[in-house]
Every structure is written in structure tokens, then in C-alpha cells.
Copies of this chain bind each other. A is one copy, B any other.
């Protein structure tokens, strides 16, 4: 699992960079043939783009890098269980394997919420591996929102 952890570490690095930009600390990388071809943290605030979750930004970067709409054979590592929007985008992009860190019972859509990959309107489901570095991934989020609550208003 060392390869797996190396890429999740890169996703965690993107999450930390997001926190430094005052964005919700979630990070993602897209990997093809052992190389990172897309990487991003959440960037909704800086770009005024509500759709710019880490997974979406990393997928868009990877698609642009390859000059193609879909990413068959690519794997995505993300620090938090993807939301409904991102879970569907991961399916549309034909991601092969999805690795994620912490669960998100409130907003997730893989093992929580709509469980998109189990639904008849999901036409491609990645293989899913969860719980990688989940404590670190969750702590980043907890610390970020704790800091927010303690900010002077």
C-alpha cells in the first residue's frame, strides 16, 4: 500500500494548501500509470466557482493535460468522501479506482447519502477504497472549522 499512501499524501498536501488559502481543506490528485496528471485543493472561494471542489478541479486539470474528455485507467485520490456532484463527475470521467480518506455522512454520496455508484442511473462505477489516512484527513477539516468558529466576528 506504499504507492497508495504516497498519492494520498499528495492529496493531503493539496488539502493543507487549501487551508492556507482559507478554502475548506480537501485535496485530490488524479493518477495515471503512476504519474500525477491532475492535482488540486478546494478552490471555490478564490475562483468564485461553486463547482470547484478538489475532485472537480483535479479531473478538469487531468482532462486538459491529456486533451480528452474522459480518464479511463486513471485513479483518483481524495481526502474526503466525494459529494453528490463529485461522485457523478468521477463516474462521467470513467475513473477506474477511487481512494478516499474520511467519510462524510452529511454530504457524501458514495457510502453515505445517495450512494450514487449503487444506483441504476450510474452508468460507470469506480472501484472504491476508503479509509486511507482518514484520521489525518478528518483532523484537517475539524481544525479548519474550529479555527473558523474562534475567529473574531
If the complex has contacts A50-B92, A50-B93, are A114 and B84 also in contact, measured as CB distance less than 8 A? yes
Q: Mark A59-81, 1 if CB is under 8 A from B, else 0.
A: 11001101111110000000000
Q: Which residue of chain B has its CB nearest to the CB of A113? A: B121
Partner of A92 from the list B48, B51, B66, B87 (CB cut-off 8 Å) is: B51
| Cβ–Cβ contact A120 & B113, under 8 A | yes
Q: How far is the CB of A121 from chain B (nearest CB, A)?
A: 3
Q: Which residue of chain B has its CB nearest to the CB of A57? A: B51
If the complex has contacts A84-B114, A84-B116, A116-B114, are A89 and B51 also in contact, measured as CB distance less than 8 A? yes
Partner of A107 from the list B85, B89, B121 (CB cut-off 8 Å) is: B121
| Cβ–Cβ contact A121 & B112, under 8 A | yes
Residues of B within 8 A of A107 (CB): 121, 123
Q: How far is the CB of A70 from chain B (nearest CB, A)?
A: 6
| Cβ–Cβ contact A60 & B69, under 8 A | no
Query: In this assembly, does A6 line the interface, its C-beta being within 8 Å of a C-beta of chain B?
Result: no
Query: In this assembly, does A26 line the interface, its C-beta being within 8 Å of a C-beta of chain B?
Result: no
Q: Which residue of chain B has its CB nearest to the CB of A112? A: B121
| Cβ–Cβ contact A87 & B89, under 8 A | no
Q: Report the Cα distance A119→B120, complex, angstroms.
A: 17
Tell me the A21-50 residues at the B interface (CB within 8 Å). 44-45, 48-50
4 closest A-B pairs (Cβ-Cβ)? A113-B121, A85-B88, A84-B88, A114-B114
